[in-house]
A and B are shown apart, each in its own frame.
Chain A
């Protein structure tokens, strides 16, 4: 049970790390740090970097939270710690 708990927690941290990496790349990365390079690409009438800063990052945030909710639910069941 002790080991099971440790394994669950390290799986959780692994998932959080991956999601935070995507979170960082598509807001701070494409929206701020590399915005000039991204702006050389167009998305319809949007320069891509501008789109990430004003639109795209928000859509990605939403997707990340729902993905997190689903992936955590799977982890909960896999390690048998889910709510009854």
Chain B
């Protein structure tokens, strides 16, 4: 069966499965719609949380980022997993005990203030909508690359699918489709990784393969990779960081706090039956996430070696008779001369997968020295020794540009895996994007219908009408996110930093103080949230323009890029959180303490006994 038919078949089957689940899990009450009736098993919830969390960025982009960044890419790995420790210990069990549907409702009730709840809704909507744009463009890209339809058609199809199962199924439908989506995406990620790990190291487990010797040699894979990339003028793979050590520290911390503060993730813990389930469920979520996150560095490093090996025979990889990559132990051990003329691949002899990806524009070749061969190296190297050898070899600049997103998507093609694996990767990328989009839509819908419509405008709304409002809010959110996916604002990439910055700088500290500081009052919490939000927005806008409008950046006014101790705007969430805590405590000390019934409520939230089913009573 040809690749196109196979892809239609596998992707079509996965969609039929999601819709079938949605029909089976229709939501009838607000409790089922917002919190799946509070009866989801902790392992099931863990798996759904993992699918919810792992977006198109985790699935498609992360391994490529790590391949480019080397050791420094670890900040994504640690940052996006370490947050679950904070979530499990500091937030999830207490919010489950509190027993309400949404994050803004907790903030509003705990700080006895509709103002606080409204600030939380604004933060939630900004974080979730910026996040969802990326998912929608991801869906469009995945459709257009694998199904041969236009990116726009892809987005319409994605909107229709999400609409079908999120609007009718609510949290219950989303939960069970996310379980199915997790299974699809994790198979799609790990199967190619196992094959490639076997080819390079003979070890079937990628996590062990990355620490193994290359097949037939006693040279560690990472040692070889370090050798190859430094010979070619890149930084050493196992030690390079993009910025300063302080920036890596703060960046990692921001991602951790942001992860713990993202409402669509927190909300998943309202679906389990008990406080103790919320604790263990976070652990299960992290196990399911770790399956992908510990595979990603192996995928990144091995694909990098494969890529260099494809275009430079001195690396020690060669194409076997059946077209697959194969190690040549003698060349690997010899540290052959990568600058030798005949080591560079002749362009006309490039493999089929390179031709396919050249058509997408994500892989480009430009023969700068006119020798008909591909020289792929770092032409801006600071390594004088390597530079001299490159000059001597007559290299006139790097000739191959490779988009980082190719690493995962082209992986099965590079390793010449069967067509069903390639089709599975397409279905996996779509599953990752759709599951995250659905979770975000749920958070948006609940905030609008429950915290705004019911909480502010129509407090005596009937359950039936609230459910209807929730479905309408979700439909509107799908249309808006689809529109933004079709007409991506030029700033799409920059906004992800904003989503994490807002979650870290405003939501996480407010929730945490609501639980751990009994005396924290509404004045303190609101001042803290606004201050945290302000410094994050200020720093990000200074670098990227006010509301990301070109030409309105004012980075020179704050002393040039990254002027705050060399910290990049992406990493600023942790600073926002510090400011939030600081301002909150100062304002709290100057104003009067919260009323006794609020303090009693905090004490009740702290103990597990008496946890009841989640409900929406205000």
Interface hits, B199-252 → A, CB 8 Å: 207-208, 210-213, 220-223, 238-239, 245, 248-249, 252
Known contacts A23-B82, A62-B287; A46 and B608 CB within 8 A of each other: no
For residue B220, which residues in chain A have a CB less than 8 angstroms away from its CB? 44-46
Whether A76 lies near B283 (C-beta < 8 A) is no
B53 at interface, CB cutoff 8 A: no
Nearest A residue to B92 by beta-carbon distance? A65
Q: Please, how many angstroms separate the alpha-carbon atoms of A27 and B126 in the complex?
A: 30
**Are A27 and B287 CB-contacts (below 8 A) given A45-B222, A53-B74?**
no
State which of A12, A45, A54, A59 has its C-beta within 8 Å of the C-beta of B74.
Answer: A54
* Residues on the B chain within 8 Å of A69, using CB: 88, 276, 279-280, 283
A45-B212, A62-B290, A72-B279 known; A33 vs B609 contact (CB < 8 Å): no
Residues B78 and A59 in contact, CB atoms below 8 Å apart = no
Is A84 interfacial (CB-CB < 8 Å)? Answer: yes
- Determine whether the beta carbon of A83 is less than 8 Å from that of B239: no
What is the number of residues of chain A that contact chain B, defined by CB distance less than 8 Å? 43
- Name the residue on A nearest B300 (C-beta): A54
Per-residue contact bits, chain A 17-57, to B (CB 8 Å; 1 contact, 0 not)? 00110010001100111011001000111110011011101
Q: Would B211 and A51 count as touching, CB distance under 8 A?
A: yes
Docked Cα-Cα span, A55 to B297, in Å, equals 8
Choice from B71, B212, B287, B293 contacting A53 with Cβ under 8 Å: B71
Residues of B within 8 A of A54 (CB): 66, 71, 73-74, 77, 210, 294, 297
Task: Point out the residues of chain A lying under 8 angstroms from B279, CB to CB.
Answer: 65, 68-69, 72-73
Q: Are B297 and A83 in contact (CB under 8 A)?
A: no
CA distance A53 to B207 in the complex (A): 13
- What residues on A are CB-neighbors of B283 within 8 Å? 62, 65-66, 69
Contact of A62 among B77, B286, B608, B610 (CB under 8 A): B286
Closest B residue, CB atoms, query A68: B89
Q: Does B294 lie within 8 Å of A65, measured CB to CB?
A: no
Give the shortest distance, in Å, between A52 (CB) and chain B (any CB). 8
Q: Is A66 in contact with B294, judged by CB distance below 8 angstroms?
A: no
Closest A residue by C-beta to B208? A44
Q: Is the CB of A9 within 8 A of B274?
A: no
Q: What would 15 more interface pairs be, CB under 8 Å, given A45-B211, A57-B81, A76-B276?
A: A8-B607, A20-B89, A32-B248, A33-B245, A35-B239, A45-B221, A47-B238, A62-B290, A64-B85, A68-B89, A72-B93, A72-B276, A72-B279, A82-B609, A83-B610
A–B complex contacts, Cβ < 8 Å, 18 sampled: A27-B78, A32-B249, A36-B239, A44-B208, A45-B221, A46-B222, A47-B222, A50-B71, A53-B77, A55-B207, A65-B88, A65-B280, A66-B283, A68-B85, A72-B279, A82-B608, A83-B275, A84-B609
Q: Which residues of B contact A (CB under 8 A)?
A: 66, 71, 73-75, 77-78, 81-82, 84-85, 88-90, 93, 207-208, 210-213, 220-223, 238-239, 245, 248-249, 252-253, 274-276, 279-280, 282-283, 286-287, 290, 293-294, 297, 603, 606-611
The 8 closest A-B pairs by CB, nearest first: A45-B220, A53-B74, A65-B283, A44-B211, A69-B279, A54-B297, A46-B211, A81-B607
